[in-house]
Amino acid sequence: MKNKKAVVLLSGGIDSSTTLYLALEKGYACFCLIFDYGQKHKKEIQCAKKIAKRAKCKYEIIRFKLPWKGTSLLDKKLTIPKNRTTQQIKKEIPSTYVPARNTIFLSFALSFAEAINAEVIFNGANAIDYSGYPDCRPEYFSALEKVSSLGTKRGIEGKSIKFLTPLIKMTKPKIIKTGIKLKVPYQLTWSCYQGGKKPCQKCDSCLLRTKGFKELGITDPLLST
């Protein structure tokens, strides 16, 4: 019987879905948090729900707004970058960066984890094949560990909630290969920032996803039909 509880941030994409299945493999009883924050690609929310149900995990949908926007993921007046080169993706923070998004998400997760007495929070952050977001780096999560130990009742009692990022140093191909072994239903995932019927194959998220499958010599299930 599973007795270790974990909160998993689930966006519906490849990284968070693989992280969920890794947490399950480690024996955690997983509780998923799905965020609806006004993003253009709302399709990911429905995908996240399907993945949580497939994994037989409970989930909560957290809804909130960021009226100041400040990102092309929220502001209809701003265009989502397309066809950026690999070098640009690695070196330039794009307009799709949402100010302090991970800090907001993980604050919710920390509160949820403490409320349900969960030991850890799993996050699918990656610092190798990613869009250069500052809140996806190892040093950021190290700082969060300090926040957890200083700013929670559990932390003061010496039972600080841990932040686990198992994919942080993995390439996208390695992530996908790991997920295939775990039988992650990648056909249910969604990565595209545009949120249309089919992936645009031009935004950063699509390009990184395509790169991962291509390097493994595998067809992305979202593009096979």
CATH of residue 122's domain is 3.40.50.620
Decide if 205 is inside a domain.
yes
pLDDT at 1: 41
Are 213 and 179 spatial neighbours (Cβ–Cβ below 8 Å)? Answer: no
Look up the pTM and report it: 0.95
For residues 191 and 211, what is the distance between their CA atoms, to the nearest angstrom?
A: 13
- The per-residue pLDDT for 178 is 98
Number of domains in the chain: 1
Label residue 158 left, alpha or beta by phi (over 0 means left) and psi (-120 to 50 means alpha): left
What's the pLDDT at 196?
82
Determine the pLDDT at residue 131.
80
Tokens representing residue 126 in the block? 């990656």
- Whether residue 40 lies inside any domain: the answer is yes
CA distance 221 to 176: 12
Token pair listed for 68: 């100041």
| Rounded-to-integer distance, Cα 65 and Cα 39, Å | 9
Look at residue 63 and tell me if it is in a domain.
yes
How far is it, in rounded angstroms, from Cα 43 to Cα 48? 9
Question: What range defines the domain where residue 195 resides?
Answer: 4-216
- Evaluate whether 10 touches 59 at the Cβ level (below 8 Å): yes
pLDDT at 190: 97
Parallel, antiparallel or unpaired: strands 120-122 and 58-63: unpaired
Q: Which two tokens stand for residue 139?
A: 């040093």
- Asked, for residue 223, whether it belongs to a domain, the answer is no
What single letter denotes the amino acid at residue 105?
A: F
What is the side-by-side order of every strand in the sheet holding 4-9? Answer: 58-63, 28-36, 4-9, 120-122, 162-164
Tell me how far apart the alpha carbons of residues 186 and 13 are, in angstroms, rounded to a whole number. Answer: 8
Examine residue 221 and state whether it is found in any structural domain, yes or no.
no
Which residue's entry shows tokens 């194959």? 201
DSSP 161: P
Residue 225 lies in a domain: no
Residue 224 lies in a domain: no
Each residue's pLDDT expressed in tens, for the chain with a length of 225 residues: 457 999 999 999 999 999 999 999 999 999 999 999 999 989 999 999 999 999 999 999 999 999 999 999 999 999 999 999 888 887 889 999 999 999 999 999 999 999 999 999 999 999 888 788 999 999 999 999 999 999 999 999 999 999 999 999 999 999 999 999 999 999 999 999 987 889 999 999 999 999 999 999 999 999 986
Separation between Cα atoms, residue 85 and residue 42, nearest integer Å: 26
Residue 103 lies in a domain: yes
